[in-house]
Amino acid sequence: MRFLKALLICLSIFAGIFLVANVDKGIQREALDQVQVELSHQAALDGLKLDAVLQSVPGTSTAGPNLVNVPFGRVQDFITLLKANPYIVQARPVLVSPPKFTFRAYVYGLNQQVSQYLGGDLGTLTYKSTPTRAYPISELLPDMISRSLSYLIPGFLLSVVLGYGLAVLSAWKPRFGLVMDRGHALLLALPDFLVVVLFQFGAILLAKLAGHNVVLIMQFAGKTPLLIPLLTVSIMPALLLYGTLRIAVDREWQAAYIKTAYSKGLTSTATLLRHILRNTTADVLAVLPRAVTVCITALVMSEVMCGIFGLGGYALTPKMLLVTSLPTTCGILAAFALLAHGILHLLQRMLIVSTKEGA
Amino acid sequence: MKPTPDTYSPWRYRLAWGLLLLLVFLVFFGHHLMPYGIDPADRVNLMKGIDPATGKVKMLAPPFGPSWQHWLGTDHRGYDLLSLLLNGAKYTLGFAFFATAVRFLLALPGGLFSGATGRGRGVISFLNVVLSAVPPLVFIFPTLFGSAAFLSPDQTVVLLFAMIVCIGVPQIANQFANRSQFYAERLYIDAARTMGASTRGIVWRHILPHMRPELLFAFLSDFIGVLFLIGQLSILSVFLGGGETFMVDDGPPPVILYLTKNGEWGSLVAYGAKYIRSYWWLVAGAGVFFAGAVLILQFFSKELQRYLSSPAARHQAKPILQNRPLQAAVGGFSALCLAAVLLLPDHAPQQKNKDSAEAAGSPPPRTAAMPAFSSSAAALPSEDEIMRSEFQADATNFFQGLKTDWTLAAMELTSPPYNPSRKYETPKQPIPPFDQWIAAMKERNLSYSNIGKISDGPVIKTDWGAPIETKQVEVYMHGPDNREEIWTLYMNGKPREPNKIVSGKPLP
């Protein structure tokens, strides 16, 4: 039952991304059942009207002056057919102005998209330098995924180590904890994109002081920045984990069993390490899924700001002309998040002792 | 060893209120505090400064760094950044506030009733899991990235607003359903139910009053969350405050930017982040305002939490009519607002536009918000359209040359790639069949009208030996008495190559 529920959640998320990311397919910029044609001068010289010319193209009918009705969704096929007619100079789609959303077009667009996915077309990228060529994203995905994962996974692990380590240290040394709590409150108020900006500022200042580049801030000539994305990805989840653990440790300090432990002569360090940290595992595992989500958001932010050609930042690089693969890459990012949630859920089941009361 | 507990401090609480009121003041009266206007007439186009390349004093073009005249510097258009930011506060914070308010208006009734009755609990919980398991960006970004090119700016803002609201509703509903469920299990609710209270009565009269403090706290937290989301989306080029395109020519290639006209903070952050290496102040000012607003809200939220968790402080608070310090603070704040409205000039661009439009008797220009993408699924011209326009341009020039001067026409003839050892020279005299065409044009008084049907043409071998795949292009020639003739040109079918004319079909 749990497995089915998890499966349903995953399917809903992917379906949701698919449905909302393709909303533009329902916005009709061009009519899906009409074609605008222009008759050649030869037709005028031969005394032919549009009706007569269309008799040789089955499936079409006249919709108005220079307008031809064609079967729904087959505009491009019929443009090719009409262009092959010697009396038709030009055939082009009919522009809908202003563009409007229609449910029929949306359903048609979704069907087209599904057909493309089934045919292995996951979307394309077109660069400004080669505007006539669209590169399939499927060829670039392995590189993009490995590039993004190269700091997503280390960043997440670093965040766990930082958050957990600092929270334990703060609990162990209260004075240090006070300073950390202030810093935590301040940093938590900063949006992640400003954190990237601050890191980039720092790197620029460092470069000015040193007289040469110390920390790379943008992807350039095959060199990908590592430190700034890594820190950006790790800092927000670390703060989240730190805050949760601090609250959990505070709660545990008030528990009766801690007083019992003290009264039995256990030192505070031993109490912290043997009892409190063990009992806060549930809190840590409860907040980690949220930390994964924050990590992925930070990944997108850092990739965009550092100009990294990864899963999150490729669409906004200045060299890009047209991107049709965003639903695919957003789906992959969602898959990462869901995979991490699944692993963390398994860990929860393995590590947390059930405390249900018996009959 | 045990950390010091966070306790309520009246001074901190008052400071938090003071800062919050400052933010509110900024939202409502920011345009009165602007040192400069943000209309085209207020642009600073040139300013004396030290040229970083030569170290000499000369007149420089914007953007200008922070100075006594412009505390936060200017943008590329020469607008004062502080003025833009002060004017933009109401757009950013106002949008976030309304989005949060609508989220709560939609989520609260559903959540409370679901928690109290248990109906729809599963659906709310499921939607909450679905929407919170992945970052909201994966839903919002591709949607707006794909749609923005086809929607009007106002429609895009509505879509952005709708998405931000929809993403947040299940989470808030779930949160309050949990709380409502908690209160609904209390004994006094059972008692009320036994006495015949309806579900609506229980929710509004018994559960909701208990939740007022946490409601306020949750609203603030969500408001901050929406601000964060707006900031993140602005980095992804989805923002509210676009309005005009501006070409920045800092070096090749020139870049076209979508810049805010009203100073919306998200758009300024997005714009400034692109120039962090060259003009740090562009992002610094916007970043400080953004972070400052978030910090004030966080601080207020924290202090409010402390105040609400301190029963002593709440009991000590006097009623408003007896609370002299509170009355003085409210009076002072009102007087400050009044003074700002009466004494300080209103630099808001809409006001100026309205005044000038009224004076000129014409409607004010539309300054709609506009999200923008540097690259998106925008409607691009098809390859056919590009080819036709290239053919049209070349044919027009070619026939102009045929009519006036062959050397001009010869410039449109396709030529070999540059080779220093074998320099190609364009034909000095008209080549066949164009000599025949020139004679026909003169003899029958024909002039070029337009190109017609384009179809695949023959592969033609050029003088330098390279075969060229051509397109056969009908050319309409217009004569006196509306006489039409159709001639045929063979043009280079490769897109985006100059000098398209390869040859022509001899006239019968």
B19-38 pLDDT per residue, tens: 999 999 999 988 888 888 88
B384 has a chain A CB within 8 A of its CB: yes
- What torsion do the CA atoms of A336, B222, A199, A226 make, to the nearest 10 degrees? 0
User: Chain B partners of A177 at a C-beta cutoff of 8 Å?
Assistant: 3
Q: Where in chain B is the domain with CATH 1.10.3720.10?
A: 10-315+326-341
> Do A24 and B373 make contact, defined as CB atoms within 8 angstroms?
no
In this structure, chain B runs to a length of 508
Residue A132 lies in a domain: no
Same domain (yes/no): A194, A81: no
Please give the average per-residue pLDDT across B290-306, as a whole number: 89
Total number of domains constituting chain A: 2
Residue of B280, B384, B474 with shortest CB distance to A201: B280
Same domain (yes/no): A161, A299: yes
Distance CA B426, CA B424 (A): 7
The per-residue pLDDT for A357 is: 61
Does the domain at residues B10-315+326-341 carry the CATH identifier 1.10.3720.10?
yes
The per-residue pLDDT for A64 is: 85
Q: What is the pLDDT of residues B182-216, one digit of tens each?
A: 998 889 888 988 998 888 889 898 888 888 888 88
Q: What is the pLDDT of residues A171-223, one digit of tens each?
A: 888 899 999 998 888 888 788 778 888 888 888 888 888 877 777 777 776 77
Residue A125 lies in a domain: no
* Dihedral sign (CA B202, B204, B207, B210): negative
The per-residue pLDDT for B344 is: 75
Residue in A219, A184, A182, A227 with CA at minimum distance from that of residue A203: A227
- What torsion do the CA atoms of B475, B480, B484, B486 make, to the nearest 10 degrees? -30
> Do A189 and B132 make contact, defined as CB atoms within 8 angstroms?
no
Min distance B228 CA to chain A CA atoms (Å): 6
Residue A204 lies in a domain: yes
User: Chain A partners of B269 at a C-beta cutoff of 8 Å?
Assistant: 193
The per-residue pLDDT for A24 is: 87
CATH number of the domain within which A170 lies = 1.10.3720.10
**If you measure CA to CA, which chain A residue comes closest to B283?**
A197
Inter-residue long-range contacts of A178-185, CB under 8 Å, 24+ positions, other chains counted: A178/B3, A178/B4, A180/A242, A181/A246, A181/B3, A184/A239, A184/A242, A184/A243, A184/A246, A185/B298, A185/B302
B440 has a chain A CB within 8 A of its CB: no
Residue A355: alpha-carbon gap to chain centroid: 37
> pLDDT exceeding 90 applies to what percent of chain B?
21
What's the pTM value of the predicted model, to 2 decimals? 0.78
Same domain (yes/no): A257, A325: yes
What amino acid is encoded at B355 in this protein? D
Residue A259 lies in a domain: yes
- Residue where a domain stops, chosen among A56, A86, A120: A120
B71 has a chain A CB within 8 A of its CB: no
Residue of A9, A89, A218 with shortest CB distance to B129: A9
B52 has a chain A CB within 8 A of its CB: no
pLDDT higher for A283 or B508? A283
Min distance B74 CA to chain A CA atoms (Å): 19
Please give the average per-residue pLDDT across B58-83, as a whole number: 87
> Do B135 and A315 make contact, defined as CB atoms within 8 angstroms?
no
SS3 sequence of B322-373? HCHHHHHHHHHHHHHHHHHHHHCCCCCHHHHHHHHHHHHCCCCCCCCCCCCC
Q: What is the pLDDT of residues A33-90, one digit of tens each?
A: 999 988 888 888 888 888 888 888 888 888 888 899 999 988 888 998 888 888 888 8
Q: Please, what is the Cα angle at A299 between A297 and A300, to 5 degrees?
A: 70
> Do A92 and B290 make contact, defined as CB atoms within 8 angstroms?
no
Same domain (yes/no): A90, A174: no
Are B163 and B229 in contact by the 8 Å Cβ rule? The answer is no
Same domain (yes/no): A100, A157: no
User: Chain A partners of B228 at a C-beta cutoff of 8 Å?
Assistant: 191-192
> Do B130 and A341 make contact, defined as CB atoms within 8 angstroms?
no
Residue of A20, A197, A316 with shortest CB distance to B143: A20
> Do B163 and A20 make contact, defined as CB atoms within 8 angstroms?
yes
Backbone phi, psi, residue B259, to 5°: -115, 145
Residue A126 lies in a domain: no
DSSP 3-state of B153 = helix
Q: What is the pLDDT of residues B113-153, one digit of tens each?
A: 999 998 999 999 999 999 999 999 999 999 988 887 777 77
CA B332 → CA A75, B18, B22, distances in Å? 68, 11, 12
User: Chain B partners of A178 at a C-beta cutoff of 8 Å?
Assistant: 3-4
User: Chain B partners of A301 at a C-beta cutoff of 8 Å?
Assistant: 232, 235
Domain limits at A155? Answer: 141-351
> pLDDT exceeding 70 applies to what percent of chain B?
88
CB pairs under 8 A between A and B: 202
Residue B360 has pLDDT above 80, yes or no: no
> Do B3 and A324 make contact, defined as CB atoms within 8 angstroms?
no
Min distance B382 CA to chain A CA atoms (Å): 10
Same domain (yes/no): A109, A177: no
Helix (H), strand (E) at residue A134? strand A134-136
Residue A128 lies in a domain: no
> Do A337 and B287 make contact, defined as CB atoms within 8 angstroms?
no
